[in-house]
Structure 1
Amino acid sequence: AHGEDIVFPEHPLLVTGSRDHKIHVWKLPILQEDTVGETTFDSGESENPYLIAVLAGHTQSVRSLSGYGNIIVSGSYDSTVRVWDLLDNARCKHILQGHQDRVYSTAIDYSKKVCFSGSMDSTINIWNFETGELLKVLEGHSSLVGLLTLVDEVLVSAAADASLRIWDPVTGELKSKLREHAAAITCFEHDGLKVVSGSEKQLKVWDVRRGEFARDLLYDVTGSVWNVSIDYKRCVAAVQRVNRAGEGELFLEILDFSESQQN
């Protein structure tokens, strides 16, 4: 009323989804401020000092969560996407129905009031999370769309059909099809310029602007690449290798994108 900015959330939050169909919103403990030490809270929900809200409504496992500010978007095995508003007593604003199968991935563009969902029905839906309107259905993948990421106006999807796709998040136009993997994509991350993606025995990097394969990053993976994280300089990948006894061992590979320096 006095023209003062509302800052929300006032403190860092942790949002978790579970097979119990619920979403929990927690105040993230700050060690410098909270003397929690090694304390573990096994008490009931009402007795936990860090539990802010419990969001109930999904009827099956909550598979994916995205959020910004006061809005949380959840995707569930019940084939729905739900929009929650933490500034409105954590109320469920919309139940977004349109997918024909389980929802595995979500992304959000808060500034445009738009969210995205990927499903086992092979489609990606674009929704207006303010009105609940289904804006577009993106088709092209032939299997489960398990991963979605939006960065710098670039939407990238990855599916069990071993492909990645680059979309314009506003128009829904398909920009590029990335097909070099031989198995389902298990992980990827992108920064608007490059995509690094992992699958069984493969870790690859792609040029976003050209929509082209750039190079393989590892050549000695005998298992799967389970997770990957990148910044402008480095790539960290969780890689499984099978030893001589046939057992899987997990390694963290740290790769450097920067140019080598010559003295």
Structure 2
Amino acid sequence: ARSRTVGELLAPTSPFDKKCGRENWTVAFAPDGSYFAWSQGHRIVKLVPWSQCLNNFLLHGTKNVANSISVRLSRQNSDSSQKNKPCEHIIDCGDIVWSLAFGSSVPEKQSRCVNIEWHRFKFGQDQLLLATGLNNGRIKIWDVYTGKLLLNLMDHTEVVRDLTFAPDGSLILVSASRDKTLRVWDLKDDGNMMKVLRGHQNWVYGCAFSPDSSILCSVGASKAVFLWDMDKYSMIRKLEGHHNDVVACEFSPDGALLATASYDTRVYVWDPHIGVILMEFGHLFPPPTPIFAGGANDRWVRSVSFSHDGLHIASLADDKMVRFWRIDEEYPVQVAPLNNGLCCTFSTDGSVLAAGQDGSVYFWATPKQVSSLQHLCRMAIRRVMPTSLVKNLPIPSKMVEFLCYQI
């Protein structure tokens, strides 16, 4: 099946605009669904209220898709204060932007309350930040509501390739760089750098927190997939299986699965607690043998994203296709065309996929499916129980396999 286009955001072009430097390496949604941000190429990041985007899409058709989303957003934001009413910002970061991440002082899961004490900036408990990683190794932190620069973090010596905030509202930021390191920053302590994580022998392409903020996954060149304990800042394990550079990673909403995308034409879905590959989504048929998977081909997977329903994964590859997969099916359930795509991510409510390409962004409606009660129960259990505890439960083996995503 072919995915339905919801809309697009096109970057302005000038007659003498160079192609190089216009790449859109990153797109991001705010945790509360209020904003969407993307790099327009060169030094510019655009921050747009997501409800405004949807209203613009409504003017160009696809009313049934966008209207249902805007209704949901209006309900989400109805209780928010008017002082933080979203407005559009264009931010000049001073250098080519490689990475973006939203950080909120409000925990994504309200069960974990974190007390935020700002040192230099006296903000409320509803602070929303945008971190931008630049070509010169700097990380700039912006106030999303005002568009003002708050912090300038300088420690990396190469391109900051990816950024991720801890989902617990602590405003802990992790950056991944071509200088082969990950750095942990505490933004509530004036951007103090807490730790340098070393272990990668080559460029670090991406990083992602588990939903409970206890584990960090980092991926990079030389087939590297590392898992880190973020309480002790120590490596838990290295995941072996890819045959080429690994460029993207993301945890499932319950933290029980980890998706990684690689230039070896595959997306692997792992059990991060035991380091086992549970699923493989191939983008080249027949799959290349290990000796050929390390070479250049037109099926390199550039990006992967986990939907918030825990059932669907989106991948973006060099064969000019976006694919939507179900975690229990071998072949894509939907596809969509996209030339030169570089990044993709699901919206906060999982109803839209955004994909970036040459300074522009394209949006598709995601596959709709009502989650079964069994799957919802599985996600609720796996949010609080790692695989080792699940396997010790006094329940039938088939139930254990289901809870471990093995059937």
TM-score, normalised to structure 1, is 0.75
Note closer, same or farther for the CA distance 1:237–1:101 as it changes in structure 2 (3 Å cut): closer
Say if 2:259 and 2:304, in contact at 8 Å, map to a contact too.
no
Say if 1:180 and 1:213, in contact at 8 Å, map to a contact too.
no
Say if 1:175 and 1:211, in contact at 8 Å, map to a contact too.
no
Q: Which amino acid is 2:215 matched to? A: V
Gaps spanning 5+ residues in structure 1: where? 31-35, 37-49, 241-249
Note closer, same or farther for the CA distance 1:201–1:94 as it changes in structure 2 (3 Å cut): same
Q: Which amino acid is 2:209 matched to? A: I
1:65 paired to 2:183: no
Say which SS state the counterpart of residue 200 (structure 2) adopts: coil
Say if 1:178 and 1:211, in contact at 8 Å, map to a contact too.
no
Note closer, same or farther for the CA distance 1:239–1:257 as it changes in structure 2 (3 Å cut): farther
1:16-27 to structure 2, matched below 5 A, reads: 16-27=132-143
1:218-237 to structure 2, matched below 5 A, reads: 218=336, 221=337, 223-230=339-346, 232-237=350-355
Name the CA distance, whole Å, in 1 between partners of 2:144 and 2:363.
29
Say which SS state the counterpart of residue 214 (structure 1) adopts: coil
| Residue of structure 2 in register with 1:156 after alignment | 259
RMSD of equivalent CA atoms: 2.7
By how many angstroms is 1:203 displaced? 2.6
Note closer, same or farther for the CA distance 1:57–1:236 as it changes in structure 2 (3 Å cut): closer
Name the CA distance, whole Å, in 1 between partners of 2:151 and 2:357.
36
1:133 paired to 2:234: yes
Note closer, same or farther for the CA distance 1:85–1:161 as it changes in structure 2 (3 Å cut): same
| Structure with more of its chain in helix, by fraction | 2
Say which SS state the counterpart of residue 217 (structure 1) adopts: strand
By how many angstroms is 1:206 displaced? 1.6
Q: Could you give the per-residue CA deviations for residues 175-220 of structure 1, whole angstroms, max 9, x where no partner exists?
A: 1121134610123322121112121232322221x252233524xx
Question: Which segment is superposed worse, 16-25 or 72-81?
Answer: 16-25
Name the CA distance, whole Å, in 1 between partners of 2:195 and 2:211.
15
Greater relative contact order (Cα < 8 A, sep 6+): 2
| Residue of structure 2 in register with 1:173 after alignment | 276
Name the CA distance, whole Å, in 2 between partners of 1:238 and 1:84.
27
Question: Which segment is superposed worse, 92-101 or 126-135?
Answer: 126-135
Q: Which amino acid is 1:62 matched to? A: V
Give aligned-pair identity as a percent.
24
Q: Which amino acid is 1:254 matched to? A: W
1:178-257 to structure 2, matched below 5 A, reads: 178-181=281-284, 183-191=299-307, 192-199=310-317, 200-208=319-327, 210=328, 212-218=330-336, 221=337, 223-230=339-346, 232-237=350-355, 252=362, 254-255=364-365, 257=367
| Residue of structure 2 in register with 1:6 after alignment | 115
Q: Which amino acid is 1:140 matched to? A: G
By how many angstroms is 1:51 displaced? 2.2
By how many angstroms is 1:54 displaced? 1.8
1:76 paired to 2:185: no
By how many angstroms is 1:90 displaced? 1.8
Name the CA distance, whole Å, in 1 between partners of 2:207 and 2:176.
7
By how many angstroms is 1:119 displaced? 0.6
Say which SS state the counterpart of residue 60 (structure 1) adopts: coil
Question: Which segment is superposed worse, 110-119 or 148-157?
Answer: 110-119
Question: Which segment is superposed worse, 84-93 or 62-71?
Answer: 84-93
Say which SS state the counterpart of residue 269 (structure 2) adopts: strand
Name the CA distance, whole Å, in 2 between partners of 1:29 and 1:234.
23
